[in-house]
Amino acid sequence: MKKILSILLPILLFAGTICAITAEEILAKVDENMNAGTVKSTARMIVETRRATRTMSSVSYAKGTDTAFTEYTAPAREKGTKMLKIKDDLWLYNPSTDRVIQISGNMLKQSVMGSDLSYEDFMEEIELAEAYIATMLEDKIYDERRCYVLDLMAKTENLAYSRRVIYVDKERMVPLYQELYAKSGKKLKTMRLSKVTKIKGRWYPLQVVFKDELKSGNGTTMIIDEISFDIDIPDHYFTKAVLRK
């Protein structure tokens, strides 16, 4: 019996530590899962407006959370339009005009391609663990998966969203649902992540539905068709020179 106990104890202890995973640790794991050194992805964005449903395709390259480059490939009207984000600056390039245009001011508030996302939202890529203090709430079943529910409060007073609630798949450490709140506590946006697939050893949601909760409509769906992590992306992809290429 003692022998059995001595074998089991470490296991029990280990299990205990698993159970006692802290909110911070979960968040770190989520960040680790969701952010990579470099990411290349091919995606479709489905925008529903009052008149029609439109699908836009794009290829994106990202490095860390600071720099990202997107090129639209379809439909014909948007083909060749490029978007480059470096820290707090955002540039657009459009082949028909051959112009690089910096997006600033009121333009940042506008929706990207008619979606429920604004340019500001595009700028808003952060490491959650770095920006928020997490508290664990009661677990929930979401989308038939057991989830941790984390309440995130902004560490600093200059984050766009001062509070988030995030549901993290316990097994895969992938966020499945996120609510973004205003300082007042009013829910502004929600994200529903689904089609969680294992890619090169990490679980990743291939579909996201963004919804501006104040706006009418059904939100915007983003579907990732192809994604690869930590690949070699030449540095020039993240300079303004890439826009004109």
Partner 1 sequence: MLLKLALKRIAGNGWRSVFNILILFLVLMGMLFIQGMYDGWMRTARRQKEEWEIGAGHFEHSNYDKYDSFTFKDSFAKIPDHIQELIRQNEVVPILVFSGVLYPQGRMTPISIKGIPWDQALLKIPSQMLRVKDEYPGSLPTVIGQDMARTNGLSQGDLVSMRFKDARGVFNAYDIEIVKVMATPVSSIDESQVWIDFTVLNSLVALQNSATLFILKDEATQLNLGSNWRYISQKKSLEDVLAMMKADQAGGYVVIALLLFLAMIAIFDTQILAVFKRRKEIGTLIALGMTRRQIIRLFTYEGCLYMVFGTILTAILGLPLFIHLGTKGIPLPQELSNLNVGGFSETMKSYYDPLTILFMLIMVFVLTLFASWLPAAKIARMKATQALRGKV
Partner 2 sequence: MLKFVLKGLIRDRSRSFFPVLIVTAGVLVTVFLTAFMSGYMESMVRQNARFDTGHVKIVTNAYADKISQKPYDLGFIDSESDFEQWKRDFPSIRWTPRIYFGALMDVPDEEGNTLEQGDVFGMAIDLWDPGAVQDIHLQEALVQGRIPQAPSEILISQELFSKLRLQLDSTVTLLGSTLHGAMSFQNYIISGTVSFGVHALDRGGIVTDIEDARLFLDMEGGASEYFGFLPDGIYDDGEATKIKREFNARYNSEDEFAPQMLALTDQNDLGFMLSYAGLALGLINVVFILIIAIVLWNAGLLNSIRRYGEFGLRLAMGERKGRLYKWLLVEALAVGVVGSLIGAALGIGLIQYFHVHGIDFGAFTQDTSMMVENVVYLSADTKNLILGIIPGPVATVLGAMLAGIGIFRRNTAKLFKELET
Chain positions contacting partner 1, by CB under 8 A: 105-106, 109, 111, 154, 157-162, 180, 182-184, 186, 188, 214-217
**Among 159, 167, 226, 225, which Cα is nearest to 191's?**
167
- Write out the binding residues for partner 2, residues 131-150 only, by CB under 8 A: none
CB-CB contact of 105 with 117 (8 Å): no
Max Cα separation, the chain? 80
Does residue 92 bind partner 2 (CB under 8 A)?
yes
CB-CB contact of 162 with 176 (8 Å): no
Residues binding partner 2: what is the number (CB under 8 A)? Answer: 31
> If contact means CB under 5 to 8 A according to the sort of partner, which of partner 1, partner 2, none does residue 100 touch?
partner 2
Question: CA 61, CA 110: separation in Å to the nearest integer?
Answer: 23
Question: CA 200, CA 175: separation in Å to the nearest integer?
Answer: 18
Q: Phi first, then psi: give them for residue 3, nearest 5 degrees.
A: -65, -45
Interface pick for partner 2 out of 41, 58, 67, 115 (rule CB under 8 A): 115
> If contact means CB under 5 to 8 A according to the sort of partner, which of partner 1, partner 2, none does residue 182 touch?
partner 1
> If contact means CB under 5 to 8 A according to the sort of partner, which of partner 2, partner 1, none does residue 157 touch?
partner 1
Q: β-pairing, 220-229 with 89-94?
A: unpaired
Chain mean position to CA 192: 11
Does residue 81 bind partner 2 (CB under 8 A)?
yes
Three-state secondary-structure class, residue 66: coil
Give the interface segment with partner 2, choosing from 95-103, 161-169, 174-182, 225-233 (CB under 8 A). Answer: 95-103
Does residue 194 bind partner 2 (CB under 8 A)?
no
Does residue 100 bind partner 2 (CB under 8 A)?
yes
Kind and range of the H or E run holding 10: helix 2-19
Q: Which is nearer to partner 1, 22 or 218 (CB)?
A: 218
Task: Compute the least distance from the CB of residue 179 to partner 2, in Å.
Answer: 24
Vertex 103, ends 53 and 93: CA angle to 5°? 70
Question: CA 168, CA 30: separation in Å to the nearest integer?
Answer: 8
Task: Compute the least distance from the CB of residue 211 to partner 2, in Å.
Answer: 15
Task: Compute the least distance from the CB of residue 54 to partner 2, in Å.
Answer: 6
Interface pick for partner 2 out of 22, 55, 110, 239 (rule CB under 8 A): 110
> If contact means CB under 5 to 8 A according to the sort of partner, which of partner 1, partner 2, none does residue 223 touch?
none
What x-and-dash track marks residues 22-51 binding partner 2 by CB under 8 A? -------------------------x-xxx
**Among 118, 111, 120, 115, which Cα is nearest to 54's?**
115
